[in-house]
Amino acid sequence: MPPVAAAPSETPATKKATPTFKHAYRSERMPSGNYAVRDLPIFAAPKDEAKGKKYSLSWLKKACLRAIERKQGGHLAPVHVEHHDPGQTRDNAGFMDNYRVMQTLLDGESVPAVFVDLVEVPPTTFAEIRSYRLPYRSVEILDPEIPEISSLALMSSDVPFFRLPMTVVSEPTLARFCFRDEPRNLRSLKMSATATDHAPVPIPIQ
């Protein structure tokens, strides 16, 4: 009787890989060929003062309302690769849209935070995000006394002040809407957003 070959033993090289991260933000391919990243927390208010400035829940809500006003005037705040230095231009990485305030976990505590969708993210930048080369994000605020988020930096290695879950995305699907879909945007901004049964419930901002 011929010998029966033994099944190969499982080695570290042959074991099924486990995901490095347990979370992933939903991503979609937009009609333009660019990409969107949905329901991304970008700025939190864990207490009334952070970095010596007052960033309260009220500040977050006013910043979202200001973004609505800007959009009605035809402006979406930019997303860019790395932070700006004075007089410096950075590569465009899309725009922020669909602002809302929801609870998120930060350092083990539930705190209010501004959530946005990143829209019209160029394919080259999205590829960098998918490859974990732009895992961190940090907002830019021109004047803390004026509740407004001017832009968002996607960063490769700078540690942000708010250590929110890293920018890890799912396999992209086809977008069900785009940022020009005004009725959906207004609903999400006011109350319901895109929350699923397992997602945080938006806090009314008016």
As a whole number of angstroms, the distance between CA 184 and CA 181 comes to 6
Query: How much is the pLDDT for 17?
Result: 46
Mean pLDDT, the chain, rounded, equals: 80
pTM: 0.75
Residue 198 has pLDDT above 80, yes or no: no
Q: How confident is the model at residue 50 (pLDDT cuts 50, 70, 90)?
A: low
The pLDDT of 129-149, averaged and rounded, is 93
HEC profile of the chain: CCCCCCCCCCCCCCCCCCCCCCCCECEEECCCCCEEEEEEEEEECCCCEECCEECCHHHHHHHHHHHHHHHHCCCCCEEEECCCCCCCCCCEEEEEEEEEEEEEEECCEEEEEEEEEEEEECHHHHHHHHCCCCCEEEEECCCCCCCCCCEEEEECCCCCCCCCCCCCECCCEECCCCCCCHHHHHHHHHCCCCCCCCCCCCECCC
User: Taking 50 as the threshold, does the pLDDT of residue 184 lie above it?
Assistant: no
Residue 43: count other Cβ atoms within 10 Å of its Cβ: 25
Q: What is the largest CA-CA distance in the chain?
A: 85
Mean pLDDT in residue range 141-147: 91
